[in-house]
């Protein structure tokens, strides 16, 4: 379905972003990976995805806190493959602390990576999409873009902001072939969430499995994690003709978290 389309997926060397990149590649899209990690491991991921999907896969290590590097990510992708058709803003970081103890530098970093980076990427990709009057912008928000949890001020603020940004871009592109929508996962077993599980286990003296169930029981009525593969499939759907009139939507995939 996505043959001859070019996609950028930020934060795609692991977790949700990698799941989305794999799903887009499996549907025929060329994919520019982005993220942090060991260069050899990233190259193995890139080469493996290119081989398994039979598409071109690139990698660009843009720092999502740096607007110039984000612009270069978009520019290099367009230079290499002639344009940008699909942009998935997925990169994210987390820090947990009460507001009065929240380090200011962590606030700034989370807002930069989780919110501002999406603005910068959209700003540079949108003119390329307008050239062909076709594009798909998918912002990975969160259940925390709809509701809040204590000690996550920066993350919740950023994800609420992503939902609002999605709506604005959808309105500004409403009479074009470009759509902008958000996906809001609940708990997904990614490295980011695993670190929260490990911290909970350490702080409360719990076994790893007990800590996982504690997280799920507090928020996610299904008692199951969503998977990167499920989120990837939803991203592919948003790129399909069936989603042509989905504009500014925020699709929850959270095991019932925000239905409560």
pLDDT bracket for residue 219 (50, 70, 90):
very high
Tokens of 27: 């549907």
The C-alpha atoms of residue 118 and residue 51 are separated, in whole angstroms, by 29
Contact 52, 28 (CB under 8 A): no
Domains of the chain (ranges, CATH numbers): 6-186+227-259 (3.40.50.720)
| Whole-number pLDDT of residue 248 | 98
Percent above pLDDT 70 for the chain: 100
With H, G, I as helix, E, B as strand and everything else as coil, classify residue 88. Answer: strand
**Residue 41: band (very low, low, confident or very high) from pLDDT cuts 50, 70, 90:** very high
Instruction: Look up the pTM and report it.
Output: 0.94
pLDDT tens for 114-143 read 999 999 999 999 999 999 999 999 999 999
What band does 194 get if pLDDT is binned at 50, 70 and 90?
Answer: confident
The radius of gyration of the chain from alpha carbons, rounded to an integer in Å, stands at 18
pLDDT tens string 135-145: 999 999 999 99
Catalytic residue numbers read 155
Q: What single-letter DSSP state applies at residue 23? A: H
């Amino acid at each position: 379905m996505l043959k001859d389309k070019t996609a950028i997926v930020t934060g795609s060397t692991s977790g949700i972003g990698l799941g989305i990149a794999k799903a887009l590649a499996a549907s025929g899209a060329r994919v520019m990976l982005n993220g942090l990690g060991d260069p050899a491991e990233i190259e193995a991921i890139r080469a493996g995805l290119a081989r398994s999907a039979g598409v071109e896969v690139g990698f660009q290590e843009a720092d999502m806190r740096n607007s110039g590097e984000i612009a270069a990510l978009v520019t290099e992708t367009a230079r290499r493959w002639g344009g940008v058709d699909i942009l998935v803003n997925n990169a994210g970081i987390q820090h947990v602390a009460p507001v009065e103890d929240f380090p200011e530098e962590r606030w700034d970093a989370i807002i930069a990576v989780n919110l501002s980076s999406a603005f910068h990427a959209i700003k540079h990709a949108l003119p390329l999409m307008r050239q062909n009057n076709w594009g798909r912008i998918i912002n990975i928000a969160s259940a925390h873009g709809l509701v809040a949890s204590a000690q996550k001020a920066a993350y919740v603020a950023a994800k609420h902001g992503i939902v609002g940004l999605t709506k604005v871009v959808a309105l500004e592109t409403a009479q074009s072939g470009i759509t902008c929508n958000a996906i809001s996962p609940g708990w997904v077993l990614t490295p980011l969430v695993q670190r929260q599980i490990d911290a909970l286990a350490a702080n409360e003296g719990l076994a790893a499995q007990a800590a996982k169930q504690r997280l799920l029981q507090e928020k996610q009525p299904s008692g199951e994690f969503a998977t990167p593969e499920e989120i990837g499939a939803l991203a592919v759907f948003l790129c399909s003709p069936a989603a042509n009139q989905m504009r500014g939507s925020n699709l929850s995939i959270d095991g019932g978290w925000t239905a409560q």
